[in-house]
Structure 1
Amino acid sequence: MTAVEHLLPVVGLVVGVIVVTGLSGRIGVPAPIALVLIGVGASFVPGVPGYAVDPEFVLSVLIPPLLYAAAVESSVLAIRTVLRSIIRLSVGLVLVTAFAVGAVLSLVVPVIPFTAALALGAIVAPPDAVAAVAVARRVGLPRRVLVLLEGESLFNDASSLVLLRVATAALATGALAWGAAALDFLWASVGGLLIGAAVGLVASWTRRRLGGALAVTAFSLVIPYVAYLAAEAAGASGVLAVVVAGLVLGYRSPTEEAALVRLTETATWESLRYVLEGIVFALIGLQLRHLVGDPAVRPDHLTGAVAVVLATVVLVRPAYLFLGAGLTRLGRWAQYRWGREIGDDGRDRPAPPTWREQAVMSWAGMRGVVSLAAAQTLPLETPYRSTLILATVAVILATLVLQGLSLPWVIRRLGVAGDPRGDLDRERAAASAQAGAAIAARVEQLIVDGSVTAQQGHHMRRWLAVRDWHSWDDADTDTDTGAEAGRAAGPDAAGSPGRVVHSRLDWQQDLIDVQRDVFITMRNAGDLSEEALRELQHDLDLEEALLGRRTEALSGHLTELPTGRDEPDDGVPAERGARDRRS
């Protein structure tokens, strides 16, 4: 095949993903589910090329950037608040589901040995929250439920893949070495955490010194692969390292990156994530024709395996969630009953989800592409390998279609739907009010200190009233303002309105910094969610980027002014507008 013949299926897949994703919003079907259904149909159309999934390509090329992008946008503080619940879901539930599938499948279909059944259990144990969150965000769910679902999906892939590695080793020996398995699981988890944190900190140090937006954005594209490869080389969990590195860098981004860097990086990663997510869900559907025609699959074994595995994964999740919630409430009652004697009654801990929220989370257990790729990694000598792979695809399709399409109805029927957009707007309004008060205090301080002239103070107050930079720009045409500011700057600056404007732009930057400091302080104190901070900071970044362009243009103009001085008398360097803000 020529290069063009190799490229055409890839281009066709990307174009199809873009078209289907764009149309899915109009018909009210979540994009992941629409892509899977279209993929299934397309796989049986004559002439459509077969897209064989290379498991190493999916796990090492497609998954790391997707996990990294999700981790960067996640809230470290919100995850820390419900960390115990996330660990119970991403580790405890994965282990319980995997062993339940292994035990039940080996009993109902005795020809499949327990080690092979356990491998299948590890494969189908982790839900993929992309489809669930897409539905939940459109219908509206309480933020803590979204945090739990997203946090679970960040960490459960690591547990699943480590357990699959243990089960695969047991397939070769014929027995499960519990001690070695526990040590392997422990090192994979701890090693992944440590390596991911180290990569995140080193990457943070590096990007602060790269400077330019394009360089930092290009560097961000390789970070997930560095974390993944470093952890895998050490025998630890690569996907866990990617998640931890993303959490570290996402948390530090508001204080370390310049505005233009964040804008460029965000746009790049949103586009990349849009395409990659679509590709992985389309690949799930496109696999069906290739797998159905496998002669090694016996219908009786396949039917029994699919029925058993699907029933187990659907039933174990609510049983685990409701049992865990009951034990949590019992523990909270015991702590309140006896903890008062030691001064810790547990009241400061977040309340567990309600039974309605638990029910929604129970039904949000759709499986995804990690399960598909993991199934393809089963050794060729695995007993009934083709049956296990096809059973995995069937479970993925069944959960995505049945649970995914009915999840909006479940949310509305249980009355769990909320108003996340309204909550976010209220958060933004409260944060903006605090920022406004801080700006007003800063302006008054500048006037009292004599850092600005009375006329400049007047225009600052005018801007405070309308929050519009153009109200300040109008001062440029005010000859009295220019004359007064010119006299305040000294005789060398008189007649040089560019220098006056440069000083004004610098104070505008100062007020942007004041607002950003307020928002970050509120985030760190837990008074502002990460999502609200991103939106508010995005607005400030747009203002700062425009301000930087105007400052650069003005700096170029000032180099032509025959003043014979490097700085105006107000002490503001001419190039300060182009300074490296926040390193």
Structure 2
Amino acid sequence: MSLEASAADIAIKQNLEQFLVVLSVSLSVATVSRIFSWFRQIPYTLLLVIVGLGLAFVDVRLVNLSPELILEIFLPPLLFEAAWNIRWRELKENWIPVVLFAVIGVIISVVGIALTLSQLTHLTLPIALLVGASLSATDPVSVVALFRELGASKKLTILMEGESLFNDGVAVVAFLLLVGIPLGTEVFSVTGTVISFFKFVGIGIGLGCLIGFGISYLTQRFDLPLVEQSLTLVSAYGTYLITEELGGSGVISVVTVGIILGNFGSRIGMNPRTRLLVSEFWEFIAFFVNSIVFLLIGDQIKFSSLGNNLDIIGVAILAVLITRLVSIYGLAKFSNVFTQVDISLSEQTVLWWGGLRGSVSIALALSVPVSVTGRQDIIDTVFGVVLFTLLIQGLSTQWVLKKLNLVGDQSLRQEYSELLARKIALGRVIDYFQTLDESPRVDSEFYRYEKNLVSGQLTSVEEKIDQLQTEYPQLKSIAMQLLKDKLLDIEADTYAELIRGGQLGTNLSPLILDILGEGEEK
């Protein structure tokens, strides 16, 4: 027993040391990228891949990348954080193109890539289908971060992020349905595949709604920030594991929970301070997980094996680009005809070029059973395509955005938002001065002097705000949105307070949005 215990302790120590090395390298890359201005031009996640490639080139392996590790430990928090931050109102406005890209687009991608590879390479159709399913999941983490940094339109950001959220789930379901074919345990049938698909997705959405709304109403009963923060973490992992155990799609379930808690639960069951704490917590978790995943993607590359499959990788890259082009331009045209969402040609081009592949594709490829003939071909092909999309498409997306004049006025909006925040803060300080009784221990002249200083600064801030509003009238929408959010927060906090006090039995649907919507229509 002592020898077994000793061996276990050594293994734990080695795993811990490897984890600390990975974390240290990731944080070093983050620090360097902020210190040197040249590195700021490269998205942080892509810089991690490049560093990982450098380590792989000199044959320094940080840790063995397990598909279970990504799917069960890394994937849930990444999905939950993205779903938590996506705004339901904006997603609802663009839901038709998002669903088209995420469902029909995945089908086009799987079929197109599979047929191309099976016709132009030595890969059999079952193996090619697995490659297609693995590469149909987009992972535009760095692109969405770039959109926000450069101030791209909200519509473009929500289309890219919404598609990625849902097509990950559809791609994983497609992969699970297809992986049994080369093993001989499954026979492809359109009817059976459709039934299985709806079963996976249905169980995922059902459990996601059950857990999401359950936690939302639970957090109405108490106001404990750390407990509520912990519940979101448990919901991300617990939902994924429970759904997978019951035969549903854990990815779809986690996305559903994240959207519900981020847009409904956080409004009715959390006060503004708790919402901020939870959002910052998940921002850290996403940074932490992305740092490890993207570094390990580069670190796991086997250059010798990739070199033996360059022809397959080249065909796969062309197939990925062409199928994405067909799905984006074709489905966007269909959406423009039948919906009010107008996706311009330049926006379609960015959506096409920005469809990067990443951690989900790698995890699916690595999860192919060892007994499958052609497993290494699948892994090499997927790794090669992922590298191309991250390093070529990812690094050139900023240039494409600028060439198509889709770079927004983010720096100006950031300055304006900061001025609005300072105005609110200084206004509260003035209110405090006005309600504060002049203490005999405080010199009255000093008291007036301090108050005049704050008043002068507030006047200066208000003048800058007026100047920016005059020069850039579009900035007024920011102040209007802040007012709407504040009014909605007041209403939601009031209902939550009444429920906690036992004066209200059930939550009421927000009335402010309907009132403001009617006002805008008039």
Fold similarity call, TM over 0.5: yes
Q: Identify the residue that residue 159 of structure 1 maps to in structure 2.
A: 170
Mapping of residues 348-359 of structure 1, within 5 Å = 349-359=339-349
- For residues 255 and 281 of structure 1, do their structure 2 counterparts lie closer, same or farther at Cα, with a shift above 3 Å needed? same
The 8 Å contact of residues 350 and 401 in structure 2, kept in 1 or not, is answered as yes
Counterparts of 1:534 and 1:392 in 2: how far apart (Å)? 47
The answer to whether 1:417 aligns with 2:428 is no
Q: Identify the residue that residue 362 of structure 1 maps to in structure 2.
A: 352
Counterparts of 1:3 and 1:19 in 2: how far apart (Å)? 24
CA deviation profile, 1:125-172 (whole Å, cap 9, x unmatched): 111120111222223311101010010111111111111011112222
Give the one of 299, 308, 330 matched to 1:286.
299
Counterparts of 1:58 and 1:219 in 2: how far apart (Å)? 21
Give the one of 157, 162, 168 matched to 1:146.
157
The 8 Å contact of residues 191 and 237 in structure 1, kept in 2 or not, is answered as yes
Mapping of residues 490-569 of structure 1, within 5 Å = none
Q: Identify the residue that residue 476 of structure 1 maps to in structure 2.
A: 436
Give the one of 53, 71, 92 matched to 2:83.
71
- The farther-off stretch of 17-26 and 7-16 is 17-26
Counterparts of 1:165 and 1:532 in 2: how far apart (Å)? 42
Task: Count the aligned residue pairs.
Answer: 447
Counterparts of 2:233 and 2:477 in 1: how far apart (Å)? 28
Counterparts of 2:503 and 2:324 in 1: how far apart (Å)? 48
Counterparts of 1:429 and 1:251 in 2: how far apart (Å)? 27
Runs of at least 5 residues in structure 2 that lack an aligned partner in the other structure: 1-9, 441-475, 508-522
Highest Rg: 1 or 2? 1
Q: Identify the residue that residue 18 of structure 1 maps to in structure 2.
A: 27
Give the one of 311, 316, 325 matched to 1:318.
325
Counterparts of 2:482 and 2:131 in 1: how far apart (Å)? 41
Counterparts of 1:531 and 1:283 in 2: how far apart (Å)? 43
Following TM superposition, by how much is the alpha carbon of 1:324 offset from its aligned partner in structure 2, in angstroms? 2.2
Counterparts of 2:174 and 2:480 in 1: how far apart (Å)? 33
CA deviation profile, 1:299-341 (whole Å, cap 9, x unmatched): 2xx1221011111111221222222233344x44xxxxxxxxx
Counterparts of 1:406 and 1:535 in 2: how far apart (Å)? 37
The 8 Å contact of residues 32 and 278 in structure 1, kept in 2 or not, is answered as yes
Q: Identify the residue that residue 87 of structure 1 maps to in structure 2.
A: 99
The 8 Å contact of residues 364 and 403 in structure 1, kept in 2 or not, is answered as yes
Counterparts of 2:314 and 2:162 in 1: how far apart (Å)? 29
The 8 Å contact of residues 366 and 396 in structure 1, kept in 2 or not, is answered as yes
Following TM superposition, by how much is the alpha carbon of 1:468 offset from its aligned partner in structure 2, in angstroms? 2.7
Q: Identify the residue that residue 238 of structure 2 maps to in structure 1.
A: 226
Counterparts of 1:533 and 1:411 in 2: how far apart (Å)? 28
Q: Identify the residue that residue 307 of structure 1 maps to in structure 2.
A: 314
Counterparts of 2:332 and 2:272 in 1: how far apart (Å)? 43
Q: Identify the residue that residue 123 of structure 1 maps to in structure 2.
A: 134
Give the one of 279, 284, 301 matched to 1:266.
279
Counterparts of 1:324 and 1:189 in 2: how far apart (Å)? 22
Q: Identify the residue that residue 448 of structure 1 maps to in structure 2.
A: none
- For residues 213 and 96 of structure 1, do their structure 2 counterparts lie closer, same or farther at Cα, with a shift above 3 Å needed? same
| TM-score (normalised: structure 1) | 0.70
Mapping of residues 116-265 of structure 1, within 5 Å = 116-173=127-184, 175-252=187-264, 253-265=266-278
CA deviation profile, 1:329-368 (whole Å, cap 9, x unmatched): 4x44xxxxxxxxxxxxxxxx53321101111111101101
In angstroms, what is the RMSD of aligned CA positions? 3.4
The 8 Å contact of residues 163 and 185 in structure 1, kept in 2 or not, is answered as yes
Counterparts of 2:140 and 2:72 in 1: how far apart (Å)? 20
User: Counterpart amino acid of 2:196?
Assistant: D
- For residues 265 and 351 of structure 1, do their structure 2 counterparts lie closer, same or farther at Cα, with a shift above 3 Å needed? closer
Give the one of 57, 61, 64 matched to 2:73.
61
The one of the two structures with greater contact order (alpha-carbon pairs below 8 A, sep at least 6) is 2
Mapping of residues 420-499 of structure 1, within 5 Å = 420=410, 422=412, 467-478=427-438
| TM-score (normalised: structure 2) | 0.78
- The farther-off stretch of 12-21 and 241-250 is 12-21
